Structure 1
């Protein structure tokens, strides 16, 4: 690797690191100012509070990772352009493609770090962050999607409840259908169902069991019935943030399980899975856009490049959020929602790079 490569690569990695070290403490300070009252009121133990802010640091860095990278590349490349260093490089016979090579090497290093962060470190931090949030800061708020739960719990049984309160373990309009050889064998309905944690049983009211017979059906009716089932409360109402706390392998198995159960949150879970791969790819796209935008010396200096870069970054984040919400709230394919911003901005990167070469 030549002097030019080392020079730009060190600037790339050092500026990105400094950007993280600059903005992450600011994010922590703002978050602390916002939550300090609730933290004091919750009387959370000091070690758990410290762990919470450590988890928040990783969670926050992973959340705004592309934005930090984009601004850091624009910052130091604009400085190179203002100091006419880029003109000197290109005037010496170095092609723009050759000038871009150390940036791509740096993007590879950052993308590998992003992959490691998304696959293993961020899920662990997200687990601690969300656990503390819903344990101490949002005690009365729901962390689950508890309405119209419909899912297949095993190969033979499907359950449904119109609503379920995980604070009281109480549900309404419960139905269980049992199949044998793809034929309905029996069906259980109850007006209410409640999980008794002390006895690890389910208590139902207005219990009706209809067993399908060859000639006629057999009904069993009880005012109240206690029994065991092959599912538990955690399976019935998984937390909304469940996918965020799982490593890649566990997340794939979790999604397969939720798909078999007919979970309504599969789209949300797949978004998390696909973003683990799309984020490292976006590192390369944003790096190329940042270099193409900021390698030209403009009137107004570095401020113009930064303003233009911030506008592009905000549009990227806007696209990512809008399509993410569409996938969560509708039948819009999660794969398209995750990769569409990368495709659009990949085309933009190619266009800007072509003009920068000229």
Structure 2
């Protein structure tokens, strides 16, 4: 049986690799054809364009890993079925569960690669990919909230700016409130706040501080005041894709900090975190579905299996996107949003596997 295991495992991994090598250049070509005008118009350096497409390759591969694998398994398993090789295997006394084993070994190898890619490599690629996109392809598009920014810095401190300019690190109409329990201890006002990067301080203009102690109010006013706060001003309004650019450990710390600040984007960050685990699981589910669908020789041949596989892949992507957007834009549970497609397709995988065994 080791010969059978190696034969199927080798076909599993090589077909998946060939699928990546086929579709990634196609993806790069389509993307370049669409964006070459803006790249030339905005005079993007050749080195940065090259780095962008290297990052694009990792970003694209990580995003569509399970679907590439799904189509590759359907492809080579359908060929085995059309050549009656599967019938020969099963007729020799091999059970369908035993026949499935090398597929699951292959899925384990790919899932480990996907896990490492998602945890550590994809965030690096995502940062380069998004920075290039907003620098040269979407020059005037806002990627941060810049109006009426209100954040909880920690358990006791809250800040507010009516407008914020990320490039200059300047906020207008700044307010800082410090509470102890439910009691307001002091409140700081300023017409604007500017982050001084050289010494990590803040410059407040038209500074007013109102302190409250034992029912007595004290007011201090200064035309300009340099001081230190325990935050960096650009952290108050993180860019839309910030969660995608952090490794798993950094992402956990970032989410905890954003929860303390009362960020409205927690759903989006939780979706990114949970998908790092759900994607490797989907590889097993889609592998089982692909084997169950394509292991039977059909009158229409490989084309029928591929058509059915593409339909399932499109439905999976539809569920994944719809529920992901729901979690990002509403109070819908991120756990349900991320895992619901895997649960539905996991049930489908069990059903198809039982039918295939019969």
- Return the alpha-carbon distance in structure 2 between the equivalents of residues 93 and 199 of structure 1: 75
Distance 1:112 1:198, change over 3 A: closer
How far is 1:311 from its partner?
0.7
Q: Show the counterpart of 1:68.
A: 68
Q: Deviations over 1:125-181 (max 9, x none)?
A: 111111222222222222223344332224432112344232344434432111235
- Return the alpha-carbon distance in structure 1 between the equivalents of residues 303 and 32 of structure 2: 30
Q: Deviations over 1:244-279 (max 9, x none)?
A: 111111111111111111111121111111111110
Q: Show the counterpart of 1:296.
A: 296
5 Å-filtered alignment, 1:170-209, equals: 170-180=170-180, 183-190=183-190, 192-195=192-195, 202=202, 207-209=207-209
How far is 1:205 from its partner?
6.0
Q: Which moved more, 1:127-136 or 1:146-155?
A: 146-155
How far is 1:208 from its partner?
4.1
**1:149·1:263 contact (CA, 8 Å) conserved in 2?**
no
Q: Show the counterpart of 2:351.
A: 351
How far is 1:203 from its partner?
5.2
**1:201·1:226 contact (CA, 8 Å) conserved in 2?**
no
- Return the alpha-carbon distance in structure 1 between the equivalents of residues 215 and 33 of structure 2: 70
- Return the alpha-carbon distance in structure 2 between the equivalents of residues 148 and 335 of structure 1: 30
Q: Show the counterpart of 1:211.
A: 211
Q: Deviations over 1:44-98 (max 9, x none)?
A: 3222221111111111111111110110011111111111111111111111111
How far is 1:314 from its partner?
0.7
- Return the alpha-carbon distance in structure 2 between the equivalents of residues 226 and 311 of structure 1: 63
Q: Show the counterpart of 1:316.
A: 316
SS in 1 for 2:101: helix
- Return the alpha-carbon distance in structure 2 between the equivalents of residues 114 and 120 of structure 1: 10
Distance 1:13 1:235, change over 3 A: same
SS in 2 for 1:212: strand
Q: Which moved more, 1:265-274 or 1:37-46?
A: 37-46
Taking structure 1 as the reference length, what is the TM-score of the superposition?
A: 0.93
Taking structure 2 as the reference length, what is the TM-score of the superposition?
A: 0.93
Q: Show the counterpart of 2:136.
A: 136
SS in 1 for 2:296: coil
SS in 2 for 1:145: coil
SS in 1 for 2:149: strand
SS in 2 for 1:239: coil
Tell me whether 1:114 sits opposite 2:114 in the alignment: yes
SS in 2 for 1:186: strand
Structure 2 gaps, min length 5: none
How far is 1:232 from its partner?
2.0
How far is 1:201 from its partner?
5.5
Q: Show the counterpart of 2:36.
A: 36
Q: Show the counterpart of 2:268.
A: 268
Q: Show the counterpart of 1:253.
A: 253
Tell me whether 1:77 sits opposite 2:77 in the alignment: yes
Q: Which moved more, 1:330-339 or 1:225-234?
A: 225-234
Supply the RMSD in Å over aligned alpha carbons: 2.1
SS in 1 for 2:209: strand
Q: Which moved more, 1:132-141 or 1:121-130?
A: 132-141
